[in-house]
Structure 1
Amino acid sequence: MSQPFVRPDVRAFLDYLNGLDGPRSHQVSLEQARGMMHASRHAFDAEVGKLAVIRDIAGGPCPMRLFDARAERGPGPVMVFYHGGGFVLGDIDTHAPLCAEIARLLDLPVISVDYRLAPEHPFPAGVEDAIASARWVAGNPPELGRAATGLILAGDSAGGNFTIVAALALRDEPAAVPVIAQWPIYPAANPTEGYPSFTDFGEGYLLTREGMNWFDQCYAPDAKDWRYDPLHQNQRGIPPTLVVTASLDPIRDQGRAYAAACAQAGVSVVYLEAEGTIHGFMNLRKSLPSAQIDLERCCAHLKVMLL
């Protein structure tokens, strides 16, 4: 493979990371690995910043947190967001900066879902929480404090997998309000299939083959279950879709394949590949200033979808 294009801020960040001594997250205890992800948020991501509403929501199938740029809001669309972290790491706090910025850029309420994590809760616990939480929000419970007229499902990496699965589940068994769009961000969309990007970018680009194998061992999925590999399902009838990938991501080709499957099924789909950047760039906006531009571009496309 010829040398790929790498953005200058991404090259500086990778040089820093790859020059560090010490173990990776898959080489330490589970508690330490989760602590490392929290530490990386404060070291590499933007601040949460001021927002009119940031509050935890009780009463649902799992903990959730509402982010909203407006203190009061009439009925309208609501985003349900599933964080990444390989089904093992991450939570509402690690993705709070991203959810807050999406709420600002889209001027929409964003509900972040704190689904159960593996290995304490292996497959399908987390994805069951993802589906149940979307259905719960669609039911306009009083705890929500506002009426949802439609859902936008979104999430990054493992959360991108949950986004696709939840959209399919609510297609087949509709909720109280429809899913009007989905936004899988560098999604684990087809994890049972081997792709060139897994080999090409599986070392030296933040997300590694060894790390992904560890995630898979913890998650302990059933490879034949479509709730693990949603490309086992026909995508016909799912809502307008924005698929985002990073060109230097080992799971890039899964996102490409998913976008192609959507197009082949007649779904209205926009595919954006962030050239020269890495998996996880949405959570690295302090270290990667170019990621802010990527996020703004995604939100601009999503706004058009919601017209």
Structure 2
Amino acid sequence: MLDPDAKALLDFIASKNLPSYHTLPVAEARAYYRDRRQFSQPDAPEVGAVDDLPIDGPGGRLMLRRYRPLGSAPDAALPLLVYYHGGGHTIGDLETHDTLCRQLCNQSGWSVLAVDYRLGPEHRFPAAVEDSWAALQWAQANAATLGIDPDRIAVGGDSAGGNLAAVMALMARDAGAPKLVFQLLVYPATDLHYATPSHAANGQGYLLTRDVIDYFTRAYVGPEADLDDWRLSPALASDFHNLPPALVLTAGYDPLHDEGRDYADKLHTAGNRVEYVDYPGQIHGFLPMGRVIRQANEAVAVCARALREAGGA
């Protein structure tokens, strides 16, 4: 059964005849996503420190945002979550996920480094992958300056960001560094063929529609990319052994539900430690929506608890 808070949100959107992302030019879709967060997200909690850090990325300046938790000692070497925001690789930025990053930071006791990776259609695949990898490498190389423990680095993200986090875990394993301690995959996109039953069952009526998915995929992938490339579809990687422990979180009314569940199964079958948490009454994108969906706050706490455990707390 659809969660009552999620249903109320969907009913409100329908009553206001609010536009779907796929009906908007990309610039307007980004502004709409950014502005809408004020309605659905909780107030941003105070953290111990937050600063924007521009670095030299593969495509020019790459902006990162570092958070340290409230009450943390300035000289403490904290575990670090490198976080990749959702938005179909097309919309979303540091601001759309600022509150969520603050929540995860404070509740886990980890430092968080959010990545403002390049977006399609201006910068199509593999630009987002290149930026994500550059940020992860930079974080490890600059651990002392960042005040983090280079032996306790994790990756995480929601939706498209979960896709990037999964890809980063595979890349880090293959490269031999950094030795990640955890991956946080929140309703991740893991196979861009989008052929699972949940895409058919949940493709209309639950915020993330098939039209929106196609809109994002065209913007990110373009006409030339091979959807079988595991850097686009990490579920199609050839080897899932020796990957970091994972929390995979899914939502029952999400088109991406089945591919998230199936990815958790692939990780588990290959011998990795996996916690799979499903919210059967929820919709895609609910995690930051704690102002209007009460269960989102529970899910954030679950993610933070998993991080605390992975960091040795």
Q: TM over 0.5, yes or no?
A: yes
Query: Contact 1:138/1:150 (CA < 8 Å) preserved in 2?
Result: no
Q: 1:153 maps to what in 2?
A: 155
Query: Contact 2:240/2:270 (CA < 8 Å) preserved in 1?
Result: yes
TM-aligned CA deviation for residue 102 of structure 1? 0.1
Q: 1:110 maps to what in 2?
A: 112
Query: Contact 2:152/2:311 (CA < 8 Å) preserved in 1?
Result: no
Query: Contact 1:205/1:248 (CA < 8 Å) preserved in 2?
Result: yes
TM-aligned CA deviation for residue 17 of structure 1? 1.4
**Counterparts of 1:73 and 1:189 in 2: how far apart (Å)?**
38
Q: 2:286 maps to what in 1?
A: 281
Query: Contact 1:73/1:146 (CA < 8 Å) preserved in 2?
Result: no
SS at match of 1:78: strand
SS at match of 1:213: helix
Q: 1:12 maps to what in 2?
A: 8
Q: What is the TM-score normalised by the length of structure 2?
A: 0.92
Matched, 1:67 2:75: no
Q: 1:300 maps to what in 2?
A: 305
TM-aligned CA deviation for residue 302 of structure 1? 3.3
- Following superposition of structure 1 onto structure 2, how do residues 67-216 of structure 1 map, counting pairs within 5 Å? 67-69=67-69, 70=72, 72-140=74-142, 144-175=146-177, 177-216=178-217
Distance 1:51 1:305, change over 3 A: closer
Greater alpha carbon shift after TM alignment, 92-101 vs 183-192:
183-192
Q: What is the TM-score normalised by the length of structure 1?
A: 0.94
TM-aligned CA deviation for residue 191 of structure 1? 2.0
Q: 1:260 maps to what in 2?
A: 265
- Cα deviations by residue, 1:56-78 (Å, 9 ceiling, x for unpaired): 01235221001111361422321
- Cα deviations by residue, 1:181-231 (Å, 9 ceiling, x for unpaired): 001100001222511110111111110100000001101242121100111
Q: 1:231 maps to what in 2?
A: 235
SS at match of 1:273: strand
TM-aligned CA deviation for residue 305 of structure 1? 3.4
TM-aligned CA deviation for residue 49 of structure 1? 1.9
- Cα deviations by residue, 1:29-75 (Å, 9 ceiling, x for unpaired): 11110010011111111121211111101235221001111361422
Matched, 1:46 2:39: no
Query: Contact 1:76/1:149 (CA < 8 Å) preserved in 2?
Result: no
SS at match of 1:250: coil
Seq. identity, % = 34
In the alignment of these two chains, the number of paired residues is 302
**Counterparts of 2:75 and 2:301 in 1: how far apart (Å)?**
23
The unaligned stretches of length 5 or more in structure 1 are none
Distance 1:264 1:193, change over 3 A: farther
Query: Contact 1:190/1:258 (CA < 8 Å) preserved in 2?
Result: no
SS at match of 1:56: strand
- Cα deviations by residue, 1:222-272 (Å, 9 ceiling, x for unpaired): 212110011121211101111000111011001011000001111111100
SS at match of 1:245: strand
Which of 15, 24, 27 in structure 2 is aligned with 1:28?
Answer: 24
Greater alpha carbon shift after TM alignment, 111-120 vs 184-193:
184-193
The unaligned stretches of length 5 or more in structure 2 are none
**Counterparts of 2:249 and 2:56 in 1: how far apart (Å)?**
29
**Counterparts of 1:149 and 1:92 in 2: how far apart (Å)?**
25
